[in-house]
Amino acid sequence: MPLEQYKRKRDFSKTPEPAGDPTASGTGRFVVQRHRATRLHYDFRLEVDGVLASWAIPKGPTLDPAVRRMAVHVEDHPLEYFDFEGVIPKGQYGGGDVIVWDWGRWVPAADKKYVDPAKAIAEGELHFDLEGERLKGRFVLVRTDRTQGRNGKEQWLLLHKADEFAAEGWDAADHPTSVKSGRTNDEVAAAPDARWNSGAPV
Ligand code: MN
């Protein structure tokens, strides 16, 4: 059942996160959320067949083609999570603050291996282009373990190809604000209920 694992981990009477619409469908958007939980990480999500396929990346994506980032494949998230920015209460799963760090469209690379992205993810390798505000160009997600990792989660790598958008030394840590609201995680934590105009891609 879609999103079963996502729902099992959360108490929706206590967290402002969306519960998920089981009838949602769509492909083509991506979002990266900067999430300060127990540890800072970046949640990298690709819209695939009505859910957000998701990886947690401790150091965040980079445009530097010499750098590979460890990415842990985590449970699919509902499409409504796409522009979620706010505070997950302490004690709830993922408790901490979240900003929309990047968003935009994604397109699978023109190769028959990636025509069905859900299948490519299940097989452990996806090449794709991002058209975000920060992230642009060709990326690769590749699974590095053929068995489950030590914590039961699949270990992957995210890397950027040496294309026209490549930028040596580019580091997510130098870009700490939300592309949705311009706020930092600290500002969201201080005023979690503030309303901001959303220029979300459709
Ligand atoms: Mn997270």
pLDDT, tens only, 129-158: 999 999 999 999 999 976 665 667 899 999
Q: Is the pLDDT of residue 17 over 70?
A: yes
Q: How far is the CA of 120 from the centre of ligand 1 (A)?
A: 23
Q: How far is the CA of 44 from the centre of ligand 1 (A)?
A: 9
Greater pLDDT, 100 or 151 = 100
Q: How far is the CA of 112 from the centre of ligand 1 (A)?
A: 31
Q: How far is the CA of 105 from the centre of ligand 1 (A)?
A: 20
Residue 198 pLDDT class (50, 70, 90 cuts): very low
pLDDT for 23 equals: 59
Strand 40-48 to strand 51-57: parallel, antiparallel, or no bridges (unpaired)? Answer: antiparallel
Q: Is the pLDDT of residue 87 over 60?
A: yes
Strand 29-36 to strand 96-108: parallel, antiparallel, or no bridges (unpaired)? Answer: antiparallel
Q: How far is the CA of 86 from the centre of ligand 1 (A)?
A: 12
Across the range 97-110, mean pLDDT stands at 96
| 175 CB-near residues (< 8 Å, 6+ apart) | 101, 134
Q: What is the DSSP string of 30-54?
A: EEEEEEESSSEEEEEEEEETTEEEE
Q: How far is the CA of 114 from the centre of ligand 1 (A)?
A: 26
Nearest one of 117, 85, 79 to 100, comparing CA atoms: 85
Which residue(s) pair with 33 in the sheet?
Answer: 43, 100
Q: How far is the CA of 36 from the centre of ligand 1 (A)?
A: 8
pLDDT for 197 equals: 44
Q: How many CB atoms lie within 10 A of CB 33?
A: 26
Q: How far is the CA of 65 from the centre of ligand 1 (A)?
A: 24
- Those residues whose beta carbon sits under 5 angstroms from the ion ligand 1 are 35, 43
Amino acid in the structure at residue 152: G
For residue 119, the SS3 value is helix
Output the pTM of the full model: 0.88
Q: Is the pLDDT of residue 7 over 70?
A: yes
Instruction: Give the span between the Cα atoms of 132 and 70, in whole angstroms.
Output: 20
Q: How far is the CA of 178 from the centre of ligand 1 (A)?
A: 15
Q: How far is the CA of 55 from the centre of ligand 1 (A)?
A: 9
